């Protein structure tokens, strides 16, 4: 099989598997299988894949046909202009989470050298973006040790100054912080089966919490004496819930006009 044939084969198989992004995905799978860039693929249609390359191509195709996320296949996800390494240990950062960074940057202007903590940092997306933009140390915690290893890898790759802590919510915090930001798990276990197939490859602990609200509620209660502002990403159906707290301060909607970020002031 040469490059031209491989590309047609990949596109056909991905289309049959109802992968909407079959064209882009086919090119990425081809590039990864032969370890060459797009320009090489486009200018060398007659290049013949060797056995090892065909084997890799078939393995990646089989994964993608089952809706395995492209971000895990490539080990790359861009967030706030930064290219992050991702694998199955971490949630794939979502574009709507950039609103959490925007909101934090806005509130950070109210402090001189703001002390910021990102709870449930995962890949480090939020903490790394804030640290790079504000040119400061950002604290980043997660209950998952494996996620912290990925955040560490990303911080090194991007030369970001983040301090990692392995902990359950705010249990470890014994000093005051200006801003606590978090994209916590906020999906109800009952909704899990309705999630798209590709989401089910992501760590369940990064997505699910009791009633969809347990961790949000815990963070609000614990943050009360520990920070000035708590900024949380929330689910589309959690506006009334977050507004029921006395400390509720502000709500931001995302580009789909859905409630996405809740701010609490203490």
Ligand X SMILES: C[S@@+](CC[C@H](N)C(=O)[O-])C[C@H]1O[C@@H](n2cnc3c(N)ncnc32)[C@H](O)[C@@H]1O
**Residues 12 to 71 in contact with ligand X, rule: CB under 6 A:** none
Residue nearest to ligand X (CB): 120
φ, ψ at 178 (rounded to 5°) = -75, -50
φ, ψ at 225 (rounded to 5°) = -100, 10
Of the two residues 27 and 187, which places its CB atom closer to ligand X in the complex?
187
Which region, judged by CB under 6 A, interacts with ligand X, from 28-36, 43-51, 101-109, 177-185? 177-185
How many C-beta atoms surround the C-beta of residue 16 within 10 A? 10
Taking the C-alpha atoms of residue 228 and residue 135, their distance in angstroms, rounded to an integer, is 21
Q: Enter the DSSP assignment of 121.
A: -
What's the longest Cα–Cα distance across the chain? 67
Of the two residues 30 and 130, which places its CB atom closer to ligand X in the complex?
130
Total number of residues binding ligand X (CB under 6 A)? 23
Figure out which of the listed residues 4, 31, 67, 205 binds ligand X, where binding follows CB under 6 A.
205
Of the two residues 53 and 142, which places its CB atom closer to ligand X in the complex?
142
Nearest of 239, 230, 243 to residue 260 by alpha carbon: 239
CB of 2 to ligand X, least distance (A): 39
Taking the C-alpha atoms of residue 14 and residue 58, their distance in angstroms, rounded to an integer, is 12
Of the two residues 60 and 215, which places its CB atom closer to ligand X in the complex?
215
Q: Is 121 in the site for ligand X (CB under 6 A)?
A: yes
The pattern of x and - marking residues 180 through 199 that bind ligand X according to CB under 6 A reads ---xxx--------------
Taking the C-alpha atoms of residue 76 and residue 84, their distance in angstroms, rounded to an integer, is 6
Half-sphere exposure of 27 (CA within 13 A, CB side): 10
Figure out which of the listed residues 7, 117, 119, 130 binds ligand X, where binding follows CB under 6 A.
119
Q: At what angle do helices 3-16 and 51-65 cross, to 10 degrees?
A: 20
Of the two residues 25 and 202, which places its CB atom closer to ligand X in the complex?
202
Which region, judged by CB under 6 A, interacts with ligand X, from 31-39, 58-66, 117-125, 154-162? 117-125
Taking the C-alpha atoms of residue 61 and residue 30, their distance in angstroms, rounded to an integer, is 9
Cα separation values, 135 from 59, 161, 162, 179, Å:
41, 8, 11, 16
The pattern of x and - marking residues 142 through 171 that bind ligand X according to CB under 6 A reads xxx--x--------------------xx--
**Residues 74 to 93 in contact with ligand X, rule: CB under 6 A:** 91, 93
Q: Is 129 in the site for ligand X (CB under 6 A)?
A: no
| Positions in the binding site for ligand X (CB under 6 A) | 91, 93, 97, 119-123, 125-126, 141-144, 147, 168-169, 183-185, 205-206, 215
């Amino acid at each position: 099989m040469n490059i031209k044939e491989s590309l047609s084969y990949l596109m056909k198989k991905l289309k049959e598997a109802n992968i909407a992004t079959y064209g882009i995905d086919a090119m990425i799978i081809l590039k990864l299988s032969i370890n060459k860039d797009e320009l090489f693929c486009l200018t060398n249609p007659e290049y013949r894949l060797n056995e090892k390359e065909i084997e890799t191509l078939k393995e990646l195709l089989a994964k993608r046909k089952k809706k395995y996320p492209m971000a895990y296949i490539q080990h790359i996800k861009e967030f706030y202009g930064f290219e992050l390494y991702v694998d199955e240990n971490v949630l794939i950062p979502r574009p709507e989470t950039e609103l959490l960074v925007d909101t934090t940057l806005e509130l950070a202007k109210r402090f001189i050298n703001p002390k910021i903590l990102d709870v449930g940092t995962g890949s480090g997306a939020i903490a790394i973006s804030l640290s790079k933009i504000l040119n400061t140390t950002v604290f980043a915690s997660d209950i998952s040790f494996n996620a912290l290893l990925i955040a560490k890898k990303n911080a090194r790759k991007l030369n970001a100054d983040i301090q990692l802590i392995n902990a359950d919510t705010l249990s470890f915090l014994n000093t005051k912080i200006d801003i606590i930001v978090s994209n916590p798990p906020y999906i109800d276990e009952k909704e899990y089966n309705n999630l798209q197939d590709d989401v089910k490859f992501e760590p369940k602990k990064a997505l699910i919490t009791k009633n969809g609200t347990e961790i949000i509620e815990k963070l609000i209660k614990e943050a009360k004496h520990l920070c000035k502002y708590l900024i949380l990403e929330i689910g589309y159906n959690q506006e009334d819930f977050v507004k029921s707290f006395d400390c509720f301060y502000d709500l931001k909607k995302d580009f789909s006009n859905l409630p996405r970020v809740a701010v609490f002031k203490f």
